[in-house]
Chain A
């Protein structure tokens, strides 16, 4: 303890105070490229560290009116960045929707019917893929199987994404209150949807985090990564022109 405080004293005297940060921050920022897989900016507030931490188990809850598109949005940015994703046990997944949110289909493997020996399949995929999504067949998963797969993910540095009920997850995303825009009684079409996504977890993420987002955006299927400019900024480019006219 005294050694630690003496070292801190030394660092402060040398004027290096702003270079020293808690270890947990280092883990996310310094080693970020290896340890964290990127996610879309709208989902970053939900995840500790702002990305999918390798070795973690991040669940997406089903049962509500929204689930699959949140799952696809969670994978999109990592897949676009070169990661390999696999989906086990979801025969009804809309692959066209996956392509629309930005998932690269040539790095997106599907095992729709893994059969009764699905934990072996998931474990085999965790060896080679960065993100493995698995649906829990029959609704219930034995805690022993869940912890075995989570350990495999941790050991291999993959992200396990259980879809549906799962005994133990580091973080669980739950989407509620979808409001569709662009459609009216007999007119228009489905264009954009507003959602509320809640993240609950354990450890650093034990406090629930809530975010509101558009999924998909009404402007089109592809997400706008840059935030929309504030009204003041839009005018800024016009200003010098006006001044010249008045002069």
Chain B
């Protein structure tokens, strides 16, 4: 018995619902249910009043409560939303173990003595969580993690030595192994006390090792030790300069040493970073911060390059660039420099191209692009990736270099209404207004059944003089997202060949003609 440590558990009721409120903004005051595999996993109090229960089918739950908001389970969302709660508890008491999102446990001895009693400690923790995270929580204290979690659900402090008695009255379902619970129920065992009364040797022989573990816990002999989470190692490196750095070469020298240190720290933990935050403080107290991204892993030289370019950009900030977009030049030299690795992942080494093509040329081009990013900002250098869509603008998504190149929409579906190849070589980011007239001077229109009112005869683009249309083709109708009135787009596109040799892609939407692209 003496091996069982006093444990304090914090339980946040209906955590999947609360997490959905925190992350996705679905109010937990209304009837909400989180579903997994078509069964209710958790529901809000309002839904519970309406009769929604854990384990119900979706259809059944909606039948009991028609206005029920249904959310799919996302374990990542639950864990992310729980992180601030863990941090809040860790501010008051060390050695926190997260059992699962919504439930955490810690050794009770420290906080109970520090705050002067179990009730005071529980009150303090609940209040702190409510203040910091605006989340409701319950605290329970008992011998062992298993009993402490159950005590937290009941909101009780179980006195030392009374854990077995506390557990004895609880339903057998609390051991959380549905097949075993089902079997025990059919054998007539309905409470933990009845289960605990069985001889341990017989439980092990009849139900196996896992059941024997559950049996020990049901008897209040929980010897599972706490596994407090390790604080992540401090990876950021910083340097304070006695002499403020004002010249680029001095800054570059400092950057080199700092980058080597950061890389050594990361390598010591077997890590590499894909994003790098550079923070600098000047003598006058100005704070400068910029995050650099990289799609591969940043090596020591790459880190040094980025820091050097960044400092170069700051220290020579306004020079030669009269545009207002130039970043403000610091008024004093840099006295403090800090590198914060972000996007840290295990360093498995970089896979090089099989035929050696991904070598020096790629490296040179990457350096040039990073240099331009240093001059103009990270969003100045773009790479295209083919994307799905009907208009010429949608056919390609432009991604800042260094970000992951994923299309907005899959290329695969056929996208009916798309203009067939060849694609126009000039695509205006903003369509140019135009006027398309028939031979009699009336504007050309398209009926709901896609009949063209009259063949287009003249076009004036962007206020220029009218040009004769020699040949034309169309309309290609587009009726996108008609189910969402705010985003719907309905248009008819035409290809027009003009008398001066140009070919343009024109569109008629809501009675207005525009030129979207030119085949030049």
Interface positions of A (Cβ within 8 A of B): 64-69, 71-72, 82-84, 86, 91-100, 105-117, 120-121, 124-130, 177-178, 180, 183-191, 193, 216, 220-221
* B425 lies within 8 A of A68 (CB): yes
Q: Which of A65, A83, A114 contacts B520 (CB 8 A)?
A: A65
Is B428's CB within 8 Å of the partner chain A? yes
A and B contact pairs by CB, cutoff 8 A, 28 listed: A65-B503, A66-B520, A67-B520, A83-B361, A84-B361, A84-B365, A86-B369, A93-B426, A94-B396, A95-B395, A96-B392, A96-B395, A99-B423, A100-B421, A109-B383, A114-B380, A116-B321, A124-B371, A126-B368, A127-B371, A128-B368, A177-B501, A178-B501, A178-B503, A180-B503, A183-B497, A190-B495, A190-B497
Q: What are the residues of chain B within 8 A of A94 when measuring CB–CB? A: 392, 396, 423-427, 517
* A110 lies within 8 A of B367 (CB): no
* A82 lies within 8 A of B357 (CB): yes
* A98 lies within 8 A of B455 (CB): no
Q: Which of A65, A114, A188 contacts B376 (CB 8 A)?
A: A114
Given contacts A124-B372, A124-B375, contact A96 B495 (CB under 8 A): no
Is B320's CB within 8 Å of the partner chain A? yes
Q: Within the assembled complex, what's the spacing in Å between the Cα atoms of A193 and B520?
A: 10
Query: Chain A nearest CB: distance from B156 CB in Å?
Result: 61
Which residue on chain B has the smallest CB distance to residue A64? B501
Q: Within the assembled complex, what's the spacing in Å between the Cα atoms of A53 and B244?
A: 48
Q: Within the assembled complex, what's the spacing in Å between the Cα atoms of A125 and B376?
A: 13
Classify the interface of chain A: helix, strand, loop or mixed. Answer: mixed
Q: Which of B380, B395, B455, B473 contacts A111 (CB 8 A)?
A: B380
Nearest first, the 10 closest Cβ-Cβ pairs linking A and B are A128-B368, A65-B501, A68-B425, A95-B384, A96-B423, A96-B395, A95-B396, A128-B364, A84-B365, A97-B423
Q: Which of B392, B405, B419, B424 contacts A106 (CB 8 A)?
A: B405
Q: Within the assembled complex, what's the spacing in Å between the Cα atoms of A72 and B519?
A: 12
State which residues 290-341 of B face A: CB under 8 Å.
320-323, 325
* A188 lies within 8 A of B473 (CB): yes
Q: What are the residues of chain B within 8 A of A189 when measuring CB–CB? A: 419-420, 473, 495
* A186 lies within 8 A of B422 (CB): no
Given contacts A64-B501, A221-B422, contact A107 B365 (CB under 8 A): yes
Q: Which of B320, B364, B421, B520 contacts A69 (CB 8 A)?
A: B520
* B425 lies within 8 A of A93 (CB): yes
Q: Which of B320, B384, B471, B502 contacts A105 (CB 8 A)?
A: B384
Q: What are the residues of chain A within 8 A of B364 when measuring CB–CB? A: 84, 127-129
* A97 lies within 8 A of B368 (CB): no
Is B128's CB within 8 Å of the partner chain A? no
- By CB atoms of chain B within 10 A, which of A113, A114, A126, A185 has the most? A185
Is B242's CB within 8 Å of the partner chain A? no
If A66-B520, A95-B398, A183-B472 are given as contacts, then 5 extra A-B residue pairs at C-beta distance below 8 Å, sorted by A number, are A83-B361, A94-B396, A96-B395, A186-B452, A216-B422
Which residue on chain B has the smallest CB distance to residue A215? B422
* B321 lies within 8 A of A190 (CB): no
Q: What are the residues of chain B within 8 A of A107 when measuring CB–CB? A: 365
- By CB atoms of chain B within 10 A, which of A127, A128, A177 has the most? A128
- By CB atoms of chain A within 10 A, which of B323, B361, B366, B367 has the most? B361
Which residue on chain A has the smallest CB distance to residue B383? A109
State which residues 344-368 of B face A: CB under 8 Å.
357, 361-362, 364-368
Query: Chain B nearest CB: distance from A146 CB in Å?
Result: 18
* B471 lies within 8 A of A183 (CB): yes
* B386 lies within 8 A of A185 (CB): no
* B375 lies within 8 A of A65 (CB): no
* A187 lies within 8 A of B500 (CB): no
Q: Which of A65, A68, A121 contacts B372 (CB 8 A)?
A: A121
Q: Within the assembled complex, what's the spacing in Å between the Cα atoms of A66 and B518?
A: 9
State which residues 477-508 of B face A: CB under 8 Å.
495, 497-498, 500-503
Type the 1/0 row for B414-455, where 1 means its CB is closer than 8 Å to any CB of A: 000001111111111100000000000000000000001001
Given contacts A106-B405, A190-B473, contact A96 B375 (CB under 8 A): no
Q: What are the residues of chain A within 8 A of B392 when measuring CB–CB? A: 94, 96
Query: Chain B nearest CB: distance from A172 CB in Å?
Result: 17
Q: What are the residues of chain A within 8 A of B517 when measuring CB–CB? A: 94
Is B112's CB within 8 Å of the partner chain A? no
Which residue on chain A has the smallest CB distance to residue B367? A128
* B321 lies within 8 A of A117 (CB): yes
Q: What are the residues of chain B within 8 A of A191 when measuring CB–CB? A: 422
Q: What are the residues of chain A within 8 A of B420 when measuring CB–CB? A: 189
Query: Chain B nearest CB: distance from A240 CB in Å?
Result: 39
Query: Chain A nearest CB: distance from B417 CB in Å?
Result: 13
- By CB atoms of chain B within 10 A, which of A108, A183, A220 has the most? A183
* A184 lies within 8 A of B471 (CB): yes
Q: Which of B376, B382, B424, B452 contacts A97 (CB 8 A)?
A: B424
* B425 lies within 8 A of A105 (CB): no
